[in-house]
């Protein structure tokens, strides 16, 4: 087994690329937004794509990179409204519901910690109906520190206490996993294919999942 559930009390879970298929976000930023931007400002779609890619690449890993408010202002277009136009593409990764239900049945503390902006979190929770499966939903925009910053985990602690030695974090972002590792979170898992339409990614030295059915809790924790 990759995980011995007897060692875990708290499970911290990322949203995009971990519980939800990252294909939605990749499609939106690489295809749909450039198309709609080009239509709105009467320009070539490839030119719009290159411009948006350049702007986003310059801020990758920062809080602004994840902020729909920032990009709406920077691009002069309502990013949230455009996301709603393609919200039907938001999909859970395989065995997402079964995994969350298994964690609840096993008595684990289940916390989402996402870099996504409140607008994106709300859109995706409304679409998937997953919110009620968590003990706590945390977006880092509450405290303005992305998960790539080690100080983020102290802020998470303030909102929902956890013992790093008995905590599992599952995240598709390797920079986030490295930040959590430096903080002392003992159990870490990456995701091999956060975007189901993209190739398997290099997870470096981290253990990783192909699917949540590999680690489904099978029985409740013993008292």
**Looking at the annotation, which residues are catalytic?**
7
Residue 18 near residue 172, CB atoms below 8 Å: yes
CA 211 to chain centre: 15
Residue 220 near residue 105, CB atoms below 8 Å: yes
95: left (phi over 0), alpha (psi -120 to 50) or beta: left
Q: Cα–Cα distances in Å, from 7 out to 70, 92, 156?
A: 40, 27, 21
In degrees and rounded to multiples of 5, residue 188 shows phi and psi of -135, 135
CA–CA dist 101, 96 (Å, integer): 9
Residue 145 near residue 115, CB atoms below 8 Å: no
- With vertex at residue 39, the alpha carbon angle to CA 34 and CA 40, rounded to the nearest 5 degrees, is 95
């Amino acid at each position: 087994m990759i995980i011995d559930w007897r060692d875990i009390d708290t499970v911290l879970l990322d949203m995009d690329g971990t519980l939800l298929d990252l294909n939605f976000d990749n499609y939106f930023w690489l295809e749909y937004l450039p198309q709609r931007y080009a239509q709105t400002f009467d320009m070539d779609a490839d030119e719009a794509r290159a411009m948006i890619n350049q702007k986003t690449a310059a801020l990758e890993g920062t809080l602004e990179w994840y902020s729909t408010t920032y990009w709406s202002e920077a691009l002069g277009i309502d990013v949230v409204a455009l996301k709603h136009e393609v919200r039907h593409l938001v999909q859970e990764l395989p065995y997402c519901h079964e995994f969350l239900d298994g964690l609840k049945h096993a008595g684990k503390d289940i916390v989402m910690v996402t870099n996504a902006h409140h607008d994106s979190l709300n859109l995706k929770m409304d679409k998937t109906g997953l919110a009620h499966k968590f003990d706590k939903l945390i977006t880092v925009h509450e405290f303005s520190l992305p998960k790539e910053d080690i100080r983020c985990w102290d802020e998470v602690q303030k909102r929902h206490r956890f013992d790093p030695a008995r905590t599992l974090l599952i995240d598709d972002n390797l920079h986030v996993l490295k930040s959590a590792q430096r903080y002392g979170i003992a159990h870490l898992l990456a995701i091999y294919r956060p975007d189901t339409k993209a190739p398997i990614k290099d997870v470096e030295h981290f253990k990783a999942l192909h699917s949540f059915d590999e680690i489904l809790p099978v029985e409740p924790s013993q008292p």
